[in-house]
Amino acid sequence: MFTATYFAIMKYCPRLLAVLLTCGLALPLSAQFRTEKRTADKEFELHAYNLAIRSYQRALSYRDDDLETLSRLGDAYRMLNKLDSARLYYERATNNRRVEPATLLAYAHTLKALGEYERAQPLYLAYAREADATVGNHYARSCDFAILQRNEAAGFTVRPLGINSAASDFGPTIPRPGQFVFNSSRPDEDFSGVAVNRPYVAEVAAGGSLSAPVPVVFRYRVEGGSVGPVSYSPDATQVVFSRNNFTPGTRMVPEAGITLSLMIADVNEAGAWTNVRPLPVNGNDFNSGFGSFGADGNTIYFASDRPGGWGGYDLYRIRRVDNNWETTPENLGATVNTRGHEITPYFDGTSLYFSSNWHQGLGAYDVFRAGMESGRPGSLFHLGGAVNSPRDDMGFVYEPTTGRGYVVSNRNADTEEDIYAVQLEMIGPAPAAATTTTTAPTATVPEGVVRNSPVPYGRVRGYVSDIETSRPVADAAVTVTSRKDGSAIDIRTDTEGAYYLAVQPNTVYDVAVAAAGYEPMTFPVTTTASNNPDLFGNILLLPAQSAPPSAPTEVGAGEVAAPQTYDRETAPAPATSGFSVQLASVTAAPDLTTFGKLAAVGRVYTVTADGRYKVRLGTFATREAATAAAGRARELGYPGSFVVAETQGPLPADDPETAPAPAPTVTTTAAPFRVQLGAFGKPENVNREKAGALGQLRTEVRGALTVFYIDGLTSLSQAESVQRQALAAGFTGAYVLKLTDGKYVKP
């Protein structure tokens, strides 16, 4: 029967037989492709990218042109930071006209992370046409930004630490002076065969070198996860840390499938973590992590993808109230948060540092700095092409008084995450030794003072002296502010240049010194549990430089304008009529009744300049009196208060919102040096108060851009000093200009 049927088919239906044979041979190959593809998809969804790559490659051996398999291979390699391999598979996928827009976007991100901005930009524009114009055009513009900024170091130098290993090293933090704590997934003597990441500690030498790290003995173990990054409170009595699922070799970014929750613990004298408990910001359907203590010890900054944000991971903070942490976190707003991801926040008491994959940068994740204005993020700055690279740069911590910090990066394609030391370098010739001693107190005492004179019980002592003569500076105003609770003490130096105060152990204090005829100085002091009465040391003050002549506004390249009507933000000031405290700068006429709590300190009034209302307190006859008033204003809830020389005075009392009458014309001459801070398309976003604190602020309109610069500088050394201050203040493109043949050019 079978034989007869077979021959009948052969005789009458030869084509049907050929089809049946072909299908019979093809079915096993198709089935194997589907099996491998399903396995790979499950591994990919579980973020097991190494396993998924092997399964996708086996699937590709059965069907080498499958678009989804090619795209998923590119995605998996990108999550492992193997960008050259990712590029190959994305390129094969994009050769097919049916490629999905999401693959175009991922391919563009890969090329950008490889520093190939010119090749990435057309792909972003294609994504804008085919899928999302906002996203595509935004990243296309970021390529223009990267091309301009990739060689701008912004005054920083960066070098890898000698303690880095072949494994992931990340999460740098400084629990106390002389100690450096970080996370690593390196194997150690407790290695069980399963790679986990845990905290390590190293000692920091005077020059910044680190000792061999050893594991932190914290006596706490997480089941089914790891511990870190960690952040210690300023007094080192508490630690906040992330429970994480980081996988060695996989990027520690939201796109790679990280899960995080925040924990807090007490730290006993032996360094062990006790009373470990979750912070009240965790949830079952979202992540909270990358927590760090603020400089006051009563605020925790963190990142979370909780509902209600601007998109992706946003930055939040919570405060300690009556020894309990707030349960509803505060979103830090649209200045820092975007539709992308913002992670690894760090607040040093003045600036908020964080990383983002949306703000215009050089690559995947870049580090940014936000100045804090009235307690909220204000002006935003990119930290330049030394701190940042085309790949992931995050976990930035920084000490502004030393210019030293650390950043985590996977910029070295041959290793996993590494930690890099960051240093704000000196621009131009090295300053004289005397200048460098003003960054912190010394162990000396003023000339003619006996060190071992008694210190009242329970108090510490500090000195203030002249850096040139070593003589004591009497009647200097010293304000000491605790970062723990914000309390401040105002005292004055005696005839020996000494001041005395009571302090708490294990606390960071900010010490501000102001004296007539000297440059003001601010520095931090960290107290310890031991009794050291001379902990505050001797601060050496620089004599103030005489006011340099000012220059007119430029009207063209090197052209000098005729004398002009006085404007307090853009022209030289007449003789001062005293000093005042600036409280705020707003675009609309303010309601001065909201400043009623300052009535006991002085009169609150407004002046207008450059289209803005400056709310001020004063006036005061001396800078010292104004400095003391500024300290009291900060205590009363105005943290951005600073002293200004008052030349314009308050608006008329009967009409506080009327602009003052124009002042007389002032004749000026060009100064030999100036420092250009930058050229900005949106000058209204520039922090003019911070810029004005650097010196005589001038602006000049050049086409669609407004150029900001500090004028009236009489010497190259003075200009270079202003440049260093500008770089530290976040003006990353600041550079010196010299007046040569009627034009300002780089010297």
CATH of the domain at 481: 2.60.40.1120
Instruction: Assess if residue 404 is contained within a domain.
Output: yes
Instruction: Assess if residue 621 is contained within a domain.
Output: yes
Instruction: Assess if residue 656 is contained within a domain.
Output: yes
Which sign does the torsion angle of CA 164, 167, 173, 177 carry?
Answer: negative
Task: Read off the CATH number of the domain in which 364 is found.
Answer: 2.115.10
Give the per-residue pLDDT at 683: 67
Task: Read off the CATH number of the domain in which 38 is found.
Answer: 1.25.40.10
Residue 589 tokens, joined: 């006429």
By C-alpha distance, which of 91, 80, 143 is closest to 390? 143
Q: Which of 644, 662, 680 is the last residue of a domain?
A: 662
Residues 142 and 168 in one domain: no
Ramachandran category for residue 517: left, alpha or beta (phi over 0 → left; psi -120 to 50 → alpha) = left
Please give the Cα distance from 576 to 550 (Å, whole number): 15
What residue numbers bound the domain in which 597 lies? Answer: 575-662
Instruction: Assess if residue 11 is contained within a domain.
Output: no
> Which portions of the chain are predicted below pLDDT 70?
1-27, 188-195, 401, 425-440, 451-453, 456-458, 484-485, 528-531, 544-577, 585-588, 609-612, 634-635, 637, 639-640, 647-669, 681-685, 689, 701-705
Instruction: Assess if residue 1 is contained within a domain.
Output: no
Please give the Cα distance from 383 to 491 (Å, whole number): 37
Give the per-residue pLDDT at 670: 72
Instruction: Assess if residue 314 is contained within a domain.
Output: yes
* CA atoms lying within 13 Å on the CB side of residue 108: 25
Residues 306 and 368 in one domain: yes
Q: Which of 633, 662, 691 is the last residue of a domain?
A: 662
Give the per-residue pLDDT at 689: 66
Residues 284 and 344 in one domain: yes
What count of residues does the chain have? 747
Residue 547 tokens, joined: 């006011």
* CA atoms lying within 13 Å on the CB side of residue 359: 23
Q: Are 263 and 279 in contact (CB under 8 A)?
A: yes
First-to-final CA distance of the chain: 102
Instruction: Assess if residue 172 is contained within a domain.
Output: yes
Q: Which of 120, 149, 178 is the last residue of a domain?
A: 149
Instruction: Assess if residue 10 is contained within a domain.
Output: no
C-beta neighbour count of 553 within 10 angstroms: 17
Please give the Cα distance from 151 to 359 (Å, whole number): 18
Residues 130 and 272 in one domain: no
Give the per-residue pLDDT at 397: 94
Task: Read off the CATH number of the domain in which 613 is found.
Answer: 3.30.70.1070
Residues 36 and 173 in one domain: no
Residue 316 tokens, joined: 């939040």
Residues 254 and 184 in one domain: yes
Give the per-residue pLDDT at 574: 32
Residues 278 and 383 in one domain: yes
Residues 747 and 732 in one domain: yes
C-beta neighbour count of 392 within 10 angstroms: 24
Cα distances (Å, whole numbers) of residue 560 to 518, 552, 557, 632: 33, 7, 9, 43
- Number of structural domains found in the chain: 5
Q: What are residue 60's phi and psi, to 5 degrees?
A: -65, -25
Residues 359 and 414 in one domain: yes
Q: List pLDDT tens digits, range 290-334.
A: 999 998 899 999 999 999 999 899 999 999 998 899 999 999 998
Residues 111 and 235 in one domain: no
DSSP per residue, 646-660: -SS-PPPTT-TTSPP
Residues 586 and 621 in one domain: yes
Residues 378 and 504 in one domain: no
